[in-house]
Amino acid sequence: MSHPFLSDAAVGFLPSPVRDVWELSMQPGMVSLAGGNPDLRLSDTGWMAEAAARAITDQGDEVLQYGSGTGFAALREAVVEVMSAEGVSASTDSIQVTAGSQLALDLITKLLFARGDTILAEGPTYVGALGVFGGAGVRVEHVEMDDDGLQPDALRETIDRLAGQGRRPRALYTIPNFHNPTGVSLAAGRRAEIVDICRAAGIPIIEDNPYGLLSFGEYDVPSLHSLDPELVIYLGSFSKILAPGLRVGWACAPTWLRRPLQLASESAVICASVLSQELARSFVAGGRWRDTVSAAAAEYARRAEALNGTLRPLLPAGAELTTPAGGFFSWLTLPEGWSSAGLLDHAVDEQVVFVPGASFYADDDGERQFRLAYSLENPLRLDEGARRLGRALASYGSALNVART
């Protein structure tokens, strides 16, 4: 991808690892645990056809014309309502609507980083964030996580180690709830500590929260944003609770970021699709959204259990599987000496596919790990997928033993 007309930035963008296994996952009969798409059959979209038609007919002058740079005013109010359902109190003024929360991350990266700067992020982390950081020439330093999420001690040590090299990270990027790709959540008890560490070090936090409403049970933990609204930039999305094809997300921004973020968003896209914004507003205003999202979360819980419950007894000794309390993903660490890329060959023979772990790291970690997405297949298929994966683990394990003897 090098060419004399291209800048250094052009080589930093990363292809999607999901796309790498896309053709495999489309093979007839394959159980795909690869893509992290929401299942639209769980969204309440029955109202949407009529709402779209009505918006175009009655509000065409508004929804088909250029819109406000900060976002449709009524949608910003709806976003505040969505955030309040997660216990986050935000003002309409703090909401910047973006063409998907991916764009919010892209814009914030533009505004906070110069090329060569450093960002902290969980290891592993969201591949789409790695792509943004790579394109912006930002160096990613991973911070270790465990079953309670990002480790405060590891965060402190990483900041100190980088300070020893004269490097101050310009931000921490974190997905505290039902993390992509691990499914792990940041323990409530760690949250204030992490915010304190970052505040003391002068490091703003980007809190990416696309899955927060898709909790499998009671979930009452404070958002990082609510612990320090001037330090923490919160990213939210309608993609996982309504429809990703609309491309509507938002940032809830500290005061110092609002004006630059608005100008950067206008500069990139002028505004998000105004018709999409009106549909997202309609979803919230309709009032049934809380029940819809709860019902979807309950179904995702059944799917997580169908996959992980069946898979767990089939795991080899030394393997570790996370237990998500919400969201779309679980994460499997294979025993020492195993490789997830090696396992994938056996899995494909058994007609099940996943995304190997290396893609979720900016460094060369993740070789023994992989992501399992249970969001798109139904529980029966997930149960079958887990059995196939069990057989793949067995045949790969045998092959490894043969190779060693």
Q: Interaction with its own copies in 122-151: which residues (CB under 8 A)? A: 128, 131-132, 134-135
Nearer to its own copies among residue 16 and residue 339 (C-beta) = 16
CA distance 59 to 67: 12
Residue 327 near its own copies by CB under 8 A? no
Nearer to its own copies among residue 148 and residue 196 (C-beta) = 196
Residue 192 near its own copies by CB under 8 A? no
Min. distance of Cβ 207 from its own copies in angstroms?
Answer: 15
Size of the site for its own copies (CB under 8 A): 81
The footprint of its own copies on residues 45-74 (CB under 8 A) is 45, 48-50, 52-54, 56-57, 60-67, 69
Nearer to its own copies among residue 111 and residue 315 (C-beta) = 111
The β-bridge relationship of strands 369-373 and 320-321 is unpaired
Residue 259 near its own copies by CB under 8 A? yes
Nearer to its own copies among residue 13 and residue 320 (C-beta) = 13
Q: State which of residues 95, 112, 119, 159 lies at the interface with its own copies (CB under 8 A).
A: 112
Please report, for residues 15, 132, 220, 364, the alpha-carbon distance to residue 12 in angstroms, rounded to integers and kept in the order given: 10, 9, 38, 16
CA distance 86 to 81: 9
Nearer to its own copies among residue 283 and residue 338 (C-beta) = 283
The β-bridge relationship of strands 205-208 and 171-174 is parallel
The footprint of its own copies on residues 151-190 (CB under 8 A) is 170-171
Q: State which of residues 266, 320, 345, 349 lies at the interface with its own copies (CB under 8 A).
A: 266
Q: Under a CB-based contact definition with an 8 Å cutoff, are residues 352 and 389 in contact?
A: yes
Q: State which of residues 77, 110, 302, 339 lies at the interface with its own copies (CB under 8 A).
A: 110
Nearer to its own copies among residue 144 and residue 266 (C-beta) = 266
Angle at 280 between CA 279 and CA 281, to 5 degrees: 90
Stretch that binds its own copies, among 110-118, 289-297, 360-368, 379-387 (CB under 8 A): 110-118
Residue-level length of the chain: 405
Min. distance of Cβ 64 from its own copies in angstroms?
Answer: 4
Q: Binding string, 200-239, against its own copies, x = CB under 8 A?
A: --x-x----------------------------------x
Nearer to its own copies among residue 37 and residue 323 (C-beta) = 37
Min. distance of Cβ 181 from its own copies in angstroms?
Answer: 17
